[in-house]
Structure 1
Amino acid sequence: MLSSPYCWRTSLVWALCAGLLAACGSTPGGLPSRAGFPGESRAPDTTAVQVEEYSSTLEIQTESLDRELFAATRAALQEGDWLAATLALPKIEPVNSDSLNTPPDEFDASSAATLLWIDYYKARIDLLRGDTQSYKKAFTDLKSRPLPQDLEQELLTQELYLARGRHDSNAQLALSLQLLSLSDDGVTANPELGDTIWSAAQQITQQGAGPTRAGGTRQAQGWLDLAAANTLDNALDGAAALSAWEAQYPEHLAKAHASALREAALRDAQTSKLTLILPLSGPLATAGEAVSRGFIAAFFAAQDADLSIDVLDSRRFESIGDTYLEAQAKGANLIVGPLGKRQVQELLTRPQLTVPVLTLNRPELMQSDNPGALLLSLAPEDEARQLASDAFAGGSRRALVIRPEGEWGERMETALAEQWLQLGGHIPTTAIYGKPNTHSTAIRDALGLGDSAQRSAALRALFSERIETTGRRRADLDSIFLLSKTSDEARALKPLINYHYAGELPVYSLSTADSGSGNTSLNRDLGGLRLLAMPWRLDEDTLPGADSKSNSAALHALGADAYALARRWWRMRSTAAPIFFGLTAELHTSPEGILNRRLNMAEFDRGVLRPR
């Protein structure tokens, strides 16, 4: 019996409604698959007789493990491609060992070693995908088994990589020394390992932690004692402490570091006159004066009786080259400045800087290394790269980027994306905003809520009565990078992220999101925002002679750091490349003389900025 036309139409309407309702709750069309996201393990399970169909098939017929079996997997992991790494894993098929030249017990050992390596690489794949629980479980299981030495080294190396990501200095020192003990060639053949040990020792010393937490061995104690000797600001005192260290540890692995630092400290002791070059008139006068105040306040706080300071207004000279020559003619041993990027670029093109320079900015592109220059700046690109590393170490993998339109926003996104993609992260979409009336629309569309609203409108059109619907954002995101240029922008955008159903995602931001005002009422809109903060911002008592609530506090801190670095110029430029723990950042000298910044991660909690 046929249904009536009315019944047939009613059934069709309800079928259409069901389809629309399902679409409203789904991920917008054209988005990447959810396969392989955190919580959905796609890495193959290893057994001796069962590996997934899509893995390549290889027979293990050799006495020892051939590491080339995993060359493709390693390459894919370095490229951040977990799927290619999974597909490249070898598959072990049952083999009749009687048909091999290798005795059965040795063949079984080879197979077992290969299986251990497969488990190791699967754990790495889990980590790359963001499945930290599976990763931890697999690594704990691996460490409980007898392992070949090369695999043991790989596990230690991987643990060291993660310790760097979470800035665990004690673990870095202990793991690095353990890895070094497995090497026959020492620090000379493992310079990267030596650099990690040296950095970790300095960070532990800065934190005031004891050597027992880092292993308590004589090697660990030597590195920590060297770091302590390097903390002395007075150059002659530092040189004496380093000489004493060399006498106490004549065969220590860090003896080359100590020698380089001692020689550099003696050169720092010869510096008697600093010349500060800043714009003290014209459009940049306010910034120049703030830096100058910080520099001079630090000078008086240090009470360096054997050091004098001269200040030149760069605007009074036709070129920065003329200003440099004037400072040289007046007997400067070291020049601090200039502040503008173009002036720094012009100065660095000089064929030779007979008087060394500590610049207060750096050009967009470094043409070549100038051994007479050390480059300090407040470059936000450093922060963007650190933000990517810290978010990745925290387990984020697929991020929405929110940035302002224009050249500054493009530079920040480029710096962040290069680091993020290199680590293995993904950026499914970017929201670019302009004037305040575009903020909500940019975020809504990037989260896919515009499509969701259209589907809801289509559903309402089928009925005469009102239907309540709830929008659903795209489901393929696990974090957000909010690259606002000002704190006003951040305060306007953060509530909109919550409003558009993304409030549960971690939101990471640059230090520009913080005005530094300390106004808790104003900052309540930033609740939960994770951002990078300069050290002085988390301990405002460390900022000498400044109002920490003023807009120029960061430039004041830059001036104070510039004075401290000028007293240590040769040590910072030495091959030992020590860390400087400043008011603006933790500063690391690159081989090109760039002082790369690392800031502290902080979070707004009820309007108050707290360390995270």
Structure 2
Amino acid sequence: MPARLCPIILICLAALLAACASSPTSTLGELPRTPQATTQQLLEQADSSDPQKAALLRLSASDQSFQQGDLAKSREILALVPLEQLPPAQQIFASTLRAELALAANDPQQALQALQHVAFERLGELPVEQQVRSQLVSAKALEASDQPLAAARERIFIAPLLSGEEAQSNHETIWRLVSGLPVTTPQDSTDPDLSGWLALARSVKQAGTLGQQQRAIDNWVQQNPQHPAAQQLPEPLVMLRELADRPLTHVALLLPMDGPLAGVARALRDGFLAAHLQAHPEGSELQIELYDSTRLGSLDTFYRQAQAAGVQLVVGPLEKNLVRQLSEKDELPITTLALNYSDAGQTTPPQLFQFGLAAEDEAREVARRAWADGHRRAIALTPRGEWGARVLDAFRRSWEEAGGTLVAAQALAEPVEMANQIASILQIRNGESRSQSTDGSATQPTRRQDVDFLFLAATPQQAQQVKPTLIFQYAGDLPVYATSHLHAANENRSQYLDLEGIRFAETPWLLDPQLPLRQQVERQWPQAGGSLGRLYAMGADAYLLAPRLNQLLALPDTQLEGMSGVLTLNPAQRIERQLPWAEFQDGEVHSLTDYPVE
């Protein structure tokens, strides 16, 4: 009899061992199971269960609501679960769900806080599915918190646990994260996979031409054949390798040589040509041909002539009406880098790229800087009219996306009205100031305390009135962040003293007199050291962009360090700029090197 029972005993023992191996230990606790009931049924069952089972049922119900998109219900149910009374497995599950809910509410900091629970020390003991879920939400929260390197590290760690579409998506996201990092990001010798990803990104971004990038990819793959990115190149790099390695040999500059924009066009042209001469002092095969846009019969005629001449890229036009005309076409026969912008939201042909000194870029830069400096509530003064409205809208959007509040905004008043305007927007209260305080002295008027800073877009003359007026209205302590338009770049000490303490975004060209290209240009055109320098910088950056437009398409997170700012391409194929910062101090402009451009 015992002999006949032995096989049964062995089978039962094997089943028991298998169950133990596939489920958490008793001290770790049980994870919620996929429910076979509705949320309401789970909650009703929880109400009549013992505390331990009730917690499991409510966790299942909360997760089910989350998966169904009912975030409010999920939060409501999760709040009923006593987190600290749960075993570690359930604490991890609940904290992960809390993090997912926080991310859904656009609160990555709260998500990261939820993932700091001590129970996560035992995450590696849980089933793979839970490990992946917890670490993916961690990676997403890190990215949303502007920690791309940490996010990439997290995704690289979990990559071996993924398969199918989830693995592919994770792979592409790793590349997107590392390719957006500065080339100065240090290698991580403790993690060979991360180190390899960083080396790949650095080699591609440091390569100048498309052909050099292709060779850099091939060399990296040859040196790292076992790396995940070598075994499966990220899609943008596949695109780069597939692009024809055809060097740029013929460019047309389409600029107005007569009329009101002729001075602007000359500065752009000279900046472009100076950058070319600096890059190729001994000459090159690149042919640069100038076309006068004021003498065009039509754009269609120009493109036919340019195409017949073998032009591969058009840089221009500058006139906004001509850029609008190009934007209305379904396609262009030649890739074009326009030096102005069409109307916002206008659909454009795929061959059209747009670049300019957009004030909207600077407004977004103010929002980034002020947020990084810890400010959360703003007021704004911008010029009247369409230009001021666009600048204010760009600031508002960027500021509110970051989480800031725009408390009030007004169009700049005339100088004689500015004192009353600032008193109104800051709600200067005299209150008891007209009476006497308890010690017999007059009290001082006070401003509203619910604002952290003033966003200012103004001309030098307008801006000179703002700071003294703030001081006059007992608000001299209010920080002011401005666009570059208040900087005349004329080294006028008395004018700069009126701007004391104002921080502003500015082109690298005007903040660094030691730039070799600026020095070279100034020797021939001294005006390049003043406010016109921004246009020379833009012309030089047009030359920088010319051979790299396809690369920016293939690597959309690529950043080019230009003379007018750090350049990136947005999904609408518009070049956006990030600018460094400066401050007026003691009648001089001082660069703020403590805030590097991202």
TM-score, L = length of structure 2: 0.74
Three-state SS of the structure 2 residue aligned to 1:567 is: helix
* d(CA) in 1 for partners of 2:509, 2:159: 36
1:584 Cα shift? 1.2
Match of 1:6 in 2: none
1:171 Cα shift? 4.9
Match of 1:529 in 2: 502
* d(CA) in 2 for partners of 1:178, 1:392: 31
Q: 1:166-221: CA deviations, max 9, x gaps?
A: xxx75565456457567543453564553222111xx1x2x4x43138x6523433
Match of 1:341 in 2: 320
Contact 2:99 2:112 in 1 (8 A): no
- 1:26-37 alignment, distance < 5 Å: none
* d(CA) in 2 for partners of 1:137, 1:252: 28
Amino acid at match of 1:470: Q
Question: Does residue 273 of structure 2 align to residue 300 of structure 1?
Answer: no
Question: Does residue 580 of structure 2 align to residue 608 of structure 1?
Answer: no
Q: Alpha carbons of 1:524 and 1:191: their partners in 2 closer, same or farther (altered >3 Å)?
A: farther
Contact 1:516 1:537 in 2 (8 A): yes
Contact 2:568 2:576 in 1 (8 A): yes
Q: Alpha carbons of 1:363 and 1:473: their partners in 2 closer, same or farther (altered >3 Å)?
A: same
Q: 1:428-461: CA deviations, max 9, x gaps?
A: 2123322222222211110101xx236645x58x
* d(CA) in 2 for partners of 1:229, 1:126: 33
Q: Alpha carbons of 1:353 and 1:439: their partners in 2 closer, same or farther (altered >3 Å)?
A: same
* d(CA) in 2 for partners of 1:235, 1:554: 28
Alignment partner for residue 198 of structure 1, among 154, 167, 179?
Answer: 179
* d(CA) in 1 for partners of 2:95, 2:509: 50
Amino acid at match of 2:482: S
Question: Does residue 482 of structure 2 align to residue 482 of structure 1?
Answer: no
Alignment partner for residue 295 of structure 2, among 303, 309, 316?
Answer: 316
1:117 Cα shift? 5.7
Amino acid at match of 1:555: L
Q: 1:484-519: CA deviations, max 9, x gaps?
A: 2x2333333133334434344433222223333345
1:410 Cα shift? 1.4
Match of 2:361 in 1: 382
* d(CA) in 1 for partners of 2:441, 2:380: 33
Match of 1:441 in 2: 420
Three-state SS of the structure 2 residue aligned to 1:92 is: coil
Match of 1:579 in 2: 559
1:586 Cα shift? 1.7
Match of 1:14 in 2: none
* d(CA) in 2 for partners of 1:513, 1:71: 51
Gaps of 5+ in 2: 1-53, 124-130, 523-527
* d(CA) in 1 for partners of 2:329, 2:228: 40
Three-state SS of the structure 1 residue aligned to 2:410 is: strand
Question: Does residue 481 of structure 2 align to residue 493 of structure 1?
Answer: no
Amino acid at match of 1:537: L
- 1:417-496 alignment, distance < 5 Å: 417-449=396-428, 452-453=429-430, 456-457=433-434, 459=435, 468-484=442-458, 486-496=459-469
1:299 Cα shift? 1.3
* d(CA) in 2 for partners of 1:273, 1:389: 39
Q: Alpha carbons of 1:255 and 1:193: their partners in 2 closer, same or farther (altered >3 Å)?
A: closer
* d(CA) in 2 for partners of 1:174, 1:517: 47
Question: Does residue 535 of structure 2 align to residue 555 of structure 1?
Answer: yes
* d(CA) in 2 for partners of 1:403, 1:195: 36
Q: Alpha carbons of 1:195 and 1:136: their partners in 2 closer, same or farther (altered >3 Å)?
A: closer
Aligned length: 514
- 1:117-156 alignment, distance < 5 Å: 142=117, 146=121, 149=131, 150-156=133-139
Question: Does residue 143 of structure 2 align to residue 157 of structure 1?
Answer: no
Alignment partner for residue 593 of structure 1, among 565, 573, 580?
Answer: 573
Three-state SS of the structure 2 residue aligned to 1:502 is: coil
1:469 Cα shift? 2.6
Contact 2:366 2:482 in 1 (8 A): yes
Match of 1:38 in 2: none
Three-state SS of the structure 1 residue aligned to 2:206 is: coil
> Once superposed, what is the RMSD of the aligned Cα atoms?
3.9
Alignment partner for residue 188 of structure 1, among 148, 158, 169?
Answer: 169
1:342 Cα shift? 1.6
- 1:183-332 alignment, distance < 5 Å: 184=163, 185-186=166-167, 188-189=169-170, 191-200=172-181, 203=182, 205=183, 207=184, 209-212=185-188, 217-250=192-225, 252-253=228-229, 254-264=233-243, 266-267=245-246, 269=247, 271-303=248-280, 305-332=284-311
1:473 Cα shift? 0.9
- 1:495-514 alignment, distance < 5 Å: 495-514=468-487
Contact 2:257 2:265 in 1 (8 A): yes
1:126 Cα shift? 12
1:357 Cα shift? 0.7
* d(CA) in 2 for partners of 1:376, 1:196: 25
Three-state SS of the structure 1 residue aligned to 2:305 is: helix
Q: 1:298-344: CA deviations, max 9, x gaps?
A: 11112151111100110111333433333233321111101122211
Amino acid at match of 1:608: V
Three-state SS of the structure 1 residue aligned to 2:393 is: helix
* d(CA) in 1 for partners of 2:104, 2:498: 38
* d(CA) in 1 for partners of 2:472, 2:119: 47
Match of 2:391 in 1: 412
Question: Does residue 90 of structure 2 align to residue 114 of structure 1?
Answer: no
Three-state SS of the structure 1 residue aligned to 2:314 is: strand
1:258 Cα shift? 3.0
Q: 1:388-428: CA deviations, max 9, x gaps?
A: 23433443222111222222211111121122223332222
Q: 1:106-158: CA deviations, max 9, x gaps?
A: 6x853675368659978999979xxx9xx799579647853754445434433
Three-state SS of the structure 2 residue aligned to 1:405 is: coil
Contact 2:433 2:443 in 1 (8 A): yes
Contact 1:160 1:176 in 2 (8 A): no
1:222 Cα shift? 3.6
Gaps of 5+ in 1: 1-58, 77-83, 96-103
Three-state SS of the structure 2 residue aligned to 1:350 is: coil
1:598 Cα shift? 1.9
* d(CA) in 1 for partners of 2:279, 2:86: 70
Q: Alpha carbons of 1:538 and 1:210: their partners in 2 closer, same or farther (altered >3 Å)?
A: farther
Q: Alpha carbons of 1:429 and 1:74: their partners in 2 closer, same or farther (altered >3 Å)?
A: farther
Q: Alpha carbons of 1:582 and 1:468: their partners in 2 closer, same or farther (altered >3 Å)?
A: same
Amino acid at match of 1:502: A
Q: Alpha carbons of 1:69 and 1:472: their partners in 2 closer, same or farther (altered >3 Å)?
A: farther
Three-state SS of the structure 1 residue aligned to 2:289 is: strand
Contact 1:432 1:442 in 2 (8 A): no
Amino acid at match of 1:67: D
Question: Does residue 79 of structure 2 align to residue 91 of structure 1?
Answer: yes
Q: 488-497 vs 284-293, which deviates more?
A: 488-497
Q: 1:283-310: CA deviations, max 9, x gaps?
A: 0000000000001111111215111110
Three-state SS of the structure 2 residue aligned to 1:540 is: coil
Three-state SS of the structure 1 residue aligned to 2:357 is: coil
Amino acid at match of 1:565: L
Q: 1:263-283: CA deviations, max 9, x gaps?
A: 43613x1x2110100111100
Three-state SS of the structure 2 residue aligned to 1:378 is: coil
* d(CA) in 1 for partners of 2:472, 2:266: 42
